[in-house]
Amino acid sequence: MVTRVATRVAGVVLAVSALGAASLVAVSGGGAQTAPDAVAAKVLAAAKDHLGEKYVYGATGPEAWDCSGLTSTLWRTVGGARTMPRTSRQQQAWAWPITAEAARPGDLVFFGEPVTHVAFYQGGGRILDASSSKGQVVQRAIWTSDVVRYGRVPRSGVLHPAPPRPKAAPKPKPAKTVTKAKPKPPAKPVSRPAPKAKPKPAVTQAAKRSHLGPIPAAGHRPRTATTPQMKRLVAALRTRIGTPWAAGQSGQHGATYDAAGVVRWAWGYCAYGNLPTTPAALARLTRPVALRDLAVGDLIFYGVPAVHVAVYVGNGEMIDASKVLRKVTQRRVFASETVRFARLTPPKR
């Protein structure tokens, strides 16, 4: 008798545990918590490198971010999703909609109706995001005090998930038979003041920050011929491709570089003089250049004041020491609200 009771109690405990686990899966995004592909895993790993960096409204990196700046920059540069929109509302409309149960690490989590915030899904009901309330990039649990939706970044090699099934519309109730009432005499017209014209809606902050600056397209050919000095500079930079990124470095400690450091090293290697150690100080030495006049060897700055710098090498590409990719790399010039071009002229011999 005792054995039968113990067996029944154990069965009840297991059933309750299973029910609790099922509820957790439904809230947390469900299933085995693995990324849908290697690209999503790589993007999420890159996002973790930015934990603790400060939140700045409208920032797109590389050392300060807002929520959609973090998701768009990492998916564009690391994940190759070059058409990803800038703002959270645009990203929600662009992404493949998925259910909470289908969400996997690297997918996107959207908050609000309309959307006001976006984060990376980490699995287990947790997100990684640039938080305005925390003032930095953090990891935390998904909150459910607002509308929460999930999306997957469209890309090759990953099947388009089936969209969530819409809720069935309620069946219409049968119309009641109503006896017609005798028509009332028409009421006397009442003169009312003309309605006031509604003011035009103000441009939202999200719309203001969604304007990306122009960048050179693939196949871009500069109108200005490349000078011998700039050919030498670019050739020096290409020898550094693949070397590790490290903050505050310009070739010391086993040849590691940060963004300003690799430009400073190449400039000194070519015997053009010494340059400052930060992008902001470097930008003060340059003069602005319009996109139509962009030439090989010109500098590309991001951030106001500048927090990142790269060297244009033609064909819509640049060489930079990327904190996101953790190395010196040659890649496409990426769009940003703060991208701008400038020229630094070597001294005459």
Instruction: Give the pLDDT of residue 265.
Output: 94
pLDDT tens profile 148-183: 999 999 998 887 776 555 556 666 666 666 566 666
Backbone angles phi, psi at 288, to 5 degrees: -65, 150
* pTM of structure: 0.57
Cβ contact 150:118 at 8 Å: no
Chain centroid, CA 258 distance in Å: 22
**Residue with the larger pLDDT of the pair 195 and 336:** 336
Cβ contact 70:47 at 8 Å: yes
Cβ atoms < 10 Å from Cβ of 217: 11
Average pLDDT of the residues of the chain = 82
Chain centroid, CA 204 distance in Å: 19
CA dihedral 171, 176, 180, 186 (to 10 degrees): -40
Cβ atoms < 10 Å from Cβ of 73: 25
pLDDT tens profile 58-83: 899 888 999 999 999 999 999 999 99
Distance CA 28, CA 100 (A): 7
Instruction: Give the pLDDT of residue 4.
Output: 44
Domain annotation for the chain: domains and CATH numbers: 28-152 (3.90.1720.10), 228-343 (3.90.1720.10)
pLDDT tens profile 206-228: 444 457 788 998 888 898 899 99
pLDDT tens profile 268-279: 999 999 999 999
Residue 237's Cβ-count burial label (10 Å; 0-12, 13-18, 19+) is buried
Closest CA to 220 of 321, 170, 292: 292
Question: Degrees (nearest 5) of the Cα angle 125, 129, 131?
Answer: 115
DSSP state of 96: E
Instruction: Give the pLDDT of residue 197.
Output: 65
CA distances from 318 to 220, 242, 333 (A): 12, 14, 6
Residue with tokens 């899904």: 121
Cβ contact 213:86 at 8 Å: no
Q: Between β-strands 108-111 and 117-123, what pairing exists: parallel, antiparallel or unpaired? A: antiparallel
pLDDT tens profile 236-289: 999 999 999 998 877 665 689 999 999 999 999 999 999 999 999 999 999 999
Name the maximum alpha-carbon separation found in the chain: 103
